[in-house]
Homo-oligomer: A and B are copies of this chain.
Amino acid sequence: METYFIEERDLQNLITGASFLGTGGGGDPYIGGLMLKRELEIVKKIEVVTGMKYSNSKSFVLGSAMMGAPIVMIEKIPNSSEAKKALEVYSKFTDNEVEYITPLEMGGVNSTIPLITSAKTGIPVVDGDGMGRAFPELQMTTFYFYGVQPSPIVIFDERGNVSIVQGIDGYWSEKIARIITVRYGGSAYIALYGTSLPTYLNTAVLGTLSLALEIGKLLNQMRLDDLLDLLKAIIMFKGKVVDVQRRVERGFSKGNVIIDGIENYSEKTMKIDFQNEFLVARINNDIVTTVPDLITVLDLFTLKPITTDRIKYGQKVMVIGIPSSGKLRTKEALRYVGPRAFGYDVDFIPLEERWKKVEN
């Protein structure tokens, strides 16, 4: 077990890396960055615990996140003291002293919320999360796939309303917490997925906070080749966005993007479906990547990640495919985050296997 500290100088890398791993979703990381900057001006540094593979301690780990539509968060910058209050209510309700805070997802605004909670409480953040990317729903975490319930979930709003949800399973917990968030006005702070440190280490995707920082550093230094090496990632496409279809369905932003190829990809067309995050990429109607593997769209020139909310006609982009964590590729995990979980009648085939075929 080692520790390091996140300081203000790391912010830009963290935001860029979280945005990359957000695969188009997870909310605007710049809002989270703004909130975190305010905290770092006070506390100067936030402790991250890393390098743990195994523990037999009885320490308790708790997830910290925001729930709700990213667009609402942009409209009203949240007062981050509610993240602390949610943790306190959780701790009192379950009679657990929280010793580590974990992100649920490494992507978008929820990469920074746990750091804010840490700044407010002095409790260190553990280097890992439950997705290794962003996903739209609470039950879509490796914690849940491997036996940890999201409940109890403490749901706090900026007025001071608190709800505690104890759903019978991950789906019910998600449904109830979601409707409460809607009633609150569209966004809420949540504390959830409390578990022991040994269970956490068995179920989490580890090292992802460090990974986000490293990705951010490489992208900000325009070191694309090093980034591809680090992630075993593939440039899948380069082109110009020629159409974006977008609609809001059950609180999710759904749609697709059409990209006409340029350079080596001319004469080809890529279509990417999304539901908050990019889900499935096709070239000329052949699927080339699906969830849970990551599809990330970068600006062709600046290499800045582009979210599904902001992608638009005329942008020149590069589309990257990244193999997801092994913990997302098991039978247990694919039931919740494989293509079928999002309504596609296809099996998951790992990115690297699909691309052997594409390249032949």
Contacts and interface: CB of A to CB of B under 8 A. Distances in A.
A93 interface: yes
Given A93-B93, A164-B164, A159 B176 contact: no
Question: Counting chain B CB atoms within 10 Å of each CB, which of A163, A172, A183 scores highest?
Answer: A163
A183 B171 CA distance: 12
A165 B168 contact: no
Given A179-B180, A179-B182, A180-B180, A159 B164 contact: no
A56 interface: no
Contact of A161 (B161, B162, B166, B183): B166
A160 interface: yes
Given A176-B183, A179-B179, A179-B183, A165 B163 contact: yes
A175 interface: yes
B163 A176 contact: yes
A153 to B, nearest CB: 9
A128 to B, nearest CB: 29
Interface in A212-262: none
A167 interface: yes
Contacts of A160: 168
Interface string A179-223: 110111000000000000000000000000000000000000000
Nearest to A165: B163
Interface residues of A, number: 19
Identical chains bound together, number:
2
A37 B357 CA distance: 69
A356 B290 CA distance: 77
A159 B168 contact: yes
Given A179-B180, A183-B179, A162 B166 contact: yes
A163 B161 CA distance: 13
A335 B102 CA distance: 46
B166 A163 contact: yes
Contacts of A165: 161-163
A155 to B, nearest CB: 9
A172 B179 contact: no
Contacts of A183: 175-176, 179
A172 B167 CA distance: 21
Contact of A164 (B163, B172, B184): B163
A190 to B, nearest CB: 13
Interface of A: 93, 159-168, 172, 175-176, 179-180, 182-184
- The 10 closest A-B CB pairs, nearest first, are A164-B164, A162-B166, A179-B183, A160-B168, A163-B165, A161-B172, A179-B179, A161-B167, A159-B168, A161-B168
12 contacts: A93-B93, A161-B165, A161-B166, A161-B172, A161-B176, A162-B165, A163-B165, A163-B176, A175-B183, A176-B183, A179-B180, A179-B182
